[in-house]
Amino acid sequence: MSALFTVFRKEFLENLRDRRALLSALLFGPLFGPLLFGFMVSRMLNQSVAESDEPLRVTVSGSDHAPGLTRYLQAQGAQLKMATLTEGEGRAAVRNGSAQIVLIIPPEYGARFTAGTPAPVLLVADSTDSQARKSADRARILLGGYASGIAQLRLQIRGVNPLLAVPVAVNEVDVATPTGRAVVVLGFMTYFVLFAVLMGGLYLAIDTTAGERERGSLEALLSLPVARSSLVGGKILATCAYMCISLALSLWAFVCVFYFIPLERLGMSANLGVRTGLIFFAICLPFVPLGAALMTFVASFTRSYREAQTYLTTVLLVPTLPIAFASIYSLKTRNSLMFIPSLSQHLLMTSVLKDEPVAALDVCVSAAASLGLALLLMVLTARHWRRETMLG
């Protein structure tokens, strides 16, 4: 046991003195994610807040043919720009971007309207432009509202109950809670947290295995009267320590970032304060030994620093796979999923973010599954270290 702590202390100290490794482990890993995330989310929020506040702008050609419609649109708050365009000119204007939405009212509109036959209007928009599509939807809703209003009036005048034309009344209920909506935005934040965990131990995992071999210190170390499991244990423990520091830094950065993001302006609440940060830390803690054991295990098989780097960069992506899988199939928290590390942490953190109750059993299963796999990998690593091929 004391040999294990000797190894731990030495690896911890040595990594602490490696400024480059430290910078990458404790700065790039944990802070890059939250900063990028904060920037992206606040941009997105500002944009959508600005969009819904803005009045709908429509270029209208031939408004003289439909004074009623024009008045209705203006009364609904649409900003109309009057122009005289042929259909071709209207298409060109949308295509070259000088107008987002063009509404063309042909001369026959008035005659058709009076005759009670469908009066044509032409709505030109580019549906590949997501912002134009939203505006076009708004315009379509306004036009539909005007049409159904007129239809009801016509029926009433002819002595027919206008409700006959409304056979089904559709009532929509949107159950999205403000925090629930925020989760959609925050969905991949959990990956950044797990990424930070792995980044925190990446260099140490390489340095204590492939680095030891490349440096030529491995053979002397292996000739000591120390159990290989103590060597491996101490090395993994040191990697765990750096991963914990990185995890704490990452969560702290997220808490700070969310303090400044104006989620409330969209009617969302992020529910990520210091308390949630601490809960996240507890949820992710069992993932730490798993990450450390996995990286040390993989790096133990490599011959050189460079080879280890290549393989471990792939390992960095491993926790994304279950999370990506979960979002493709939109999996909900279920007991059976708690056996899958990284996915279980992702689901638990998402539940906490949504303010949903989290079952104690789920937390225990998630922790036990991660720790069990970590233990298995540690045993396998120690077994590999006992082999003579370890010398290379």
Partner 1 sequence: MIEAANLSKRFGAVEAVKDVSLVARDGEITGILGANGAGKSTCLRMLYGVLTPDNGTARVDGMDIRGETSKARARLGVLPHATGLYGNLTARENIHYFGSLHGISEERLISRTAELARVLDLDGFMDRRAKGFSQGQRIKTALARALVHDPGNIVLDEPTNGLDVMAIRSLRELLRALRAEGRCVLFSSHVMQEVAALCDRVVIIGHGRVLADATLESLRERSGKNSLEEAFLQVLGGTEGVS
Tell me which residues touch partner 1 (CB under 8 A): 2-3, 6-7, 10, 13-14, 17-18, 212, 215-226, 388, 391
The total number of residues shown for the chain amounts to 392
Q: Closer to partner 1 by CB, 212 or 362: give it.
A: 212
* List of residues 6+ apart from 18 with CB closer than 8 A: 203, 207
Question: Would you tell me how many other CB atoms lie within 10 Å of the CB of residue 291?
Answer: 32
Beta strand spans in the chain (E): 57-61, 79-83, 102-104, 122-124
Give min distance, CB of 30 to partner 1, in A: 22
Give min distance, CB of 19 to partner 1, in A: 10
Q: Closer to partner 1 by CB, 174 or 388: give it.
A: 388
Q: Closer to partner 1 by CB, 52 or 389: give it.
A: 389
Cβ proximity of 246 and 29 under 8 Å: yes
Give min distance, CB of 227 to partner 1, in A: 8
Question: Tokens at residue 252, please?
Answer: 């702290």
Angle at 176 between CA 135 and CA 355, to 5 degrees: 140
Say whether 64 sits in a helix, a strand or coil: helix
Give min distance, CB of 311 to partner 1, in A: 22
Give min distance, CB of 336 to partner 1, in A: 44
What residue spans of 187-285 are helical by DSSP H? Answer: 189-207, 210-215, 218-222, 228-260, 274-284
Q: What is the largest CA-CA distance in the chain?
A: 104
Give min distance, CB of 296 to partner 1, in A: 18
Q: Closer to partner 1 by CB, 17 or 334: give it.
A: 17
For residue 14, give the nearest of 6, 138, 35 by alpha carbon: 6
Q: What are residue 58's DSSP bridge partners?
A: 80
Q: Closer to partner 1 by CB, 332 or 383: give it.
A: 383
Give min distance, CB of 202 to partner 1, in A: 17
Distance in angstroms (rounded) separating the CA atoms of residues 27 and 21: 10
Burial (CB count <10 Å: 0-12, 13-18, 19+), residue 161: exposed
Q: Closer to partner 1 by CB, 88 or 216: give it.
A: 216
Q: Closer to partner 1 by CB, 218 or 367: give it.
A: 218
For residue 14, give the nearest of 226, 310, 299, 234 by alpha carbon: 234
Distance in angstroms (rounded) separating the CA atoms of residues 126 and 324: 31
Give min distance, CB of 10 to partner 1, in A: 5
Q: Closer to partner 1 by CB, 53 or 388: give it.
A: 388
